[in-house]
């Protein structure tokens, strides 16, 4: 069984992620400090909390430094906030993100903020994550806006006046992300988690 480390930002509940991972035959473990990262097969940055609080926890715990070291050798999946943390920074906070990608996370411009509910994800390329176009469940106020629809930004979603990055797929770096919540997205969401597990088993 795949041992997945789910990072604890200490600001939210990761129960739904754990439940979904168990449904796809993964073995989730909560990561609170760098010692918990030993012997994990892959890492998930879940979608709970605020940008600043998550950055503070990642830095103070030493996990941010370890993520930089693991990237490219261990599959990493960012969900919602977890995806946003991979970028330079966010309108939500004043602290820098991990800086793996150069874009900035902006407050979305839509009919209702936060954006809560189902949204259509258009897939523009191929990916080891094997995403399928269709409706996924979103719950967010911030996102990478107006991404260029090419690798690694293969999934986009329209919401009001915003075009947002909804799937990131960087196979070479074993780095993946979804702005939506796969653990709340029924069969399509579970298929993404299964694909992430398949990547981990390679």
Confidence band, pLDDT 50/70/90 cuts, at residue 9? confident
CB 109 within 8 A of CB 143: no
Which residues, other chains included, contact 116 with Cβ-Cβ below 8 Å and sequence gap of 6+? 138, 139
Distance between CA 12 and CA 70 in Å, rounded? 24
Question: What number is the average pLDDT over the span 19-41?
Answer: 93
Which residues, other chains included, contact 20 with Cβ-Cβ below 8 Å and sequence gap of 6+? 182, 183, 189, 190, 193
What are the pLDDT digits (tens) for 37-59? 988 999 999 988 899 999 999 99
Neighbouring CB atoms inside 10 A of 155's CB total: 26
Q: Is 198 helix (H, G, I), strand (E, B) or coil?
A: helix
Per DSSP (E only), the strands in 8-50 are: 26-31, 42-45
Distance between CA 17 and CA 163 in Å, rounded? 26
**Total-model pTM:** 0.96
What are the pLDDT digits (tens) for 95-151? 999 999 999 999 998 899 999 999 999 999 889 998 999 999 999 999 999 888 788
Neighbouring CB atoms inside 10 A of 137's CB total: 17
From the number of C-beta atoms within 10 Å of its C-beta (0-12, 13-18, 19+), residue 171 rates as middle
- What is the set of active-site residues? 80, 181, 183
DSSP 8-state class, residue 71: B
Confidence band, pLDDT 50/70/90 cuts, at residue 11? confident
Q: Where are the domains of the chain?
A: 2-201
Counting DSSP H helices and E strands in the chain, the numbers are 5, 12
CATH number assigned to the domain covering 2-201:
3.40.50.880
CB 57 within 8 A of CB 9: yes
């Amino acid at each position: 069984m795949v041992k997945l480390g789910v990072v604890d930002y200490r600001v939210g509940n990761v129960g739904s992620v754990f439940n979904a991972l168990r449904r796809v035959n993964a073995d989730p473990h909560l990561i609170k400090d760098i010692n918990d990262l030993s012997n994990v097969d892959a890492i998930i940055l879940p979608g709970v909390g605020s940008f600043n609080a998550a950055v503070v926890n990642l830095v103070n715990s030493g996990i941010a430094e370890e993520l930089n070291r693991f990237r490219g050798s261990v599959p990493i999946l960012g969900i919602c906030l977890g995806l946003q943390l991979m970028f330079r920074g966010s309108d939500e906070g004043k602290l820098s993100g991990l800086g793996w990608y150069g874009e900035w996370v902006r407050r979305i411009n839509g009919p209702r903020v936060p954006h809560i509910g189902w949204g259509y994800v258009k897939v523009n390329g191929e990916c080891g994550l094997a995403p399928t176009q269709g409706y996924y469940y979103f719950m967010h106020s911030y996102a990478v806006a107006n991404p260029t629809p090419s690798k690694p930004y293969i999934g986009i979603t329209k919401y009001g006046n915003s075009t947002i990055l909804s799937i990131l797929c960087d196979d070479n770096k074993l780095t993946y992300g979804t702005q939506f919540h796969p653990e709340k997205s029924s069969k399509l969401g579970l298929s993404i988690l299964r694909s992430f597990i398949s990547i981990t088993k390679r």
